[in-house]
Amino acid sequence: MRKAQGISQKILAARLQTEGFEFTDLTILRIEQGKRFVPDYEIVAIADYFHVSADYLLGIQGKE
């Protein structure tokens, strides 16, 4: 979704930081590579940012 919207890892991290989360571009990279555990509150933050459900991010169901 990040790439589809033309948002860099650095910009996404900065926008999530404004919501009070400790994201860096390296954090986003590791999440995308599957090399970092993502706590539930971060999944919710990312889902909220992209206006999708947490289930959608986890591959459980559609965009709802």
Integer Cα distance of 31 and 57 in angstroms:
12
pLDDT at residue 61, rounded to an integer: 77
Query: Per the structure block, which two tokens stand in for 38?
Result: 């993502």
What is the maximum span of the chain, computed from C-alpha positions, in angstroms? 29
Banded model confidence at residue 64, pLDDT cuts 50, 70, 90: low
Across residues 4-15, what is the average pLDDT? 96
Higher pLDDT, 61 or 30: 30
pLDDT > 60? residue 63: no
3-state secondary structure (DSSP) of residue 26: helix
Q: Where are the domains of the chain?
A: 9-57
Q: What is the pTM of this model?
A: 0.85
How far apart CA 62 and CA 28 sit, in angstroms, is 22
Look at residue 41 and tell me whether its pLDDT is greater than 70.
yes
| Cα–Cα distance for residue pair 56/26, rounded to 1 Å | 23
Residue whose pair of structure tokens reads 């509150």 in the numeric block: 41
